[in-house]
Structure 1
């Protein structure tokens, strides 16, 4: 990938792990009104692929666009060309609008960190995997494309929220393996409250409570999850949660508190 695609040749950096922003040599540049920013976010997410006019309208306004939407699209495209200046090229091709010479830097950096964390985990390097996952988490400044209202971005926001939680769960799993359960019980309580039907978070909370010598509280956490799942979905907890519950009841010695892994 050349300099034009990474954005280094013109010093322009785009970020979407939070409110959309563009920085030229570290200074944020104004990107115009919210819908214009939404157009930019949608085009950035195409990663250099053209997006048809109809596809752009559907992505930004959905199935009921305003009457003068064509003029709005032209206005926002012109506004973005002025705002971005030299470097990125926003052009109309036979297939649609295409934004080139632009890349979402924080998504690229997150992907690199998560891939490295997975490789470290697979190699048994738990501490290194946790450090890399923490670095990936620190890139987030808020919700994905926070504040921008567009059907396409709403769907992407949900998708990225799931990806963020998955990495967070993997990091917390590593923290517990490293004997740091006491430090993360409160974070897990908060996360379970925010995502009450997410069984993996309940499982991690139960494990952390056991590892801090609180098996009765772990059983209470299971019961709370069981009731929530029954009320919301008419379902029982899944196999992983039920298995952990059974291990706690039979006082599995592998659930006893672990000594912290010494720092080399």
Structure 2
């Protein structure tokens, strides 16, 4: 998903955590390397008004019909005065964004005839996170594993909480679940890279925390077992498998999946391929 930038108007918008819009120190975008000069956070109004902004922000400048906006923010049982509420929140957002822009070009929240459309404001932190991950992937493909790990860690550090944290509505709840999964997938890929760099002991501590937070996520257990085995703790790796097996039985009524079972058997056999000959050169 490609987002237009909002920084050129002197406003920065962030959704990797609680939604916030901040004034910035200049009219040009310094990019994720230098970082913008951040000013005060702008008051965006009541929680539902903030939710309306978040939903329209994620449409990438496409119009959203009135009915779709109501469904996104209130679901299938909106209050009786919902039309008045939508008009109130849209008007409130226009005032807030216009006032925040000062002498600069303000974001435009307009009615197109087919729906509400927001232009001139974009989720800048999403854009920057995506750029960092693209660079990390390119570095990985080039064999620059240390650079890839550092770029992925920088992308991960941009999270300030859950996606659009605290805002209600079916649309944002679904987006929150989707981004939570994407965040975990990126974390797993970063930890895989850390293991390839030979950072076994460092990874053990982080993976123990992640397994505790996501006890049924088998890929995290696999990485923990591998980190323990490579750091000279094969008994710990086997215990991690037994703990995962017990959780699967108690919570799901089944055994772990084939990938986790296969790794368990390889550890039992002391498969030489589990121990890389040497960490890759930096």
TM-score range, shorter chain: over 0.9
Q: Deviations over 1:70-104 (max 9, x none)?
A: 11100100000011114210001111100011111
The aligned counterpart of 2:94 is 81
For 1:191 and 1:121, the matched residues in 2 are separated by 23
Return the offset for 1:121: 1.8
Residues 92 and 98, structure 1, Cα contact 8 Å, conserved in 2: yes
The aligned counterpart of 2:222 is 203
For 2:5 and 2:127, the matched residues in 1 are separated by 9
Return the offset for 1:230: 2.1
The aligned counterpart of 2:192 is 173
Q: Deviations over 1:161-197 (max 9, x none)?
A: 0000000001111111111110121211111011111
Q: Which runs of 5+ in 1 are unaligned?
A: none
The aligned counterpart of 2:8 is 9
The aligned counterpart of 1:230 is 249
Alignment of 1:112-123 (within 5 A): 112-123=131-142
Q: Deviations over 1:54-74 (max 9, x none)?
A: 100100011111111111100
Return the offset for 1:6: 1.8
SS of 1:9's equivalent? helix
SS of 1:41's equivalent? helix
Q: How many residues align?
A: 260
Range with greater deviation from structure 2 (112-121 or 201-210): 112-121
For 2:211 and 2:8, the matched residues in 1 are separated by 44
Residues 14 and 20, structure 1, Cα contact 8 Å, conserved in 2: yes
* RMSD (Å) for aligned C-alpha atoms: 1.6
Residues 213 and 256, structure 1, Cα contact 8 Å, conserved in 2: no
Q: Which runs of 5+ in 2 are unaligned?
A: 25-37, 99-104
Alignment of 1:1-264 (within 5 A): 5-25=4-24, 26-27=38-39, 28-85=41-98, 86-256=105-275, 264=282
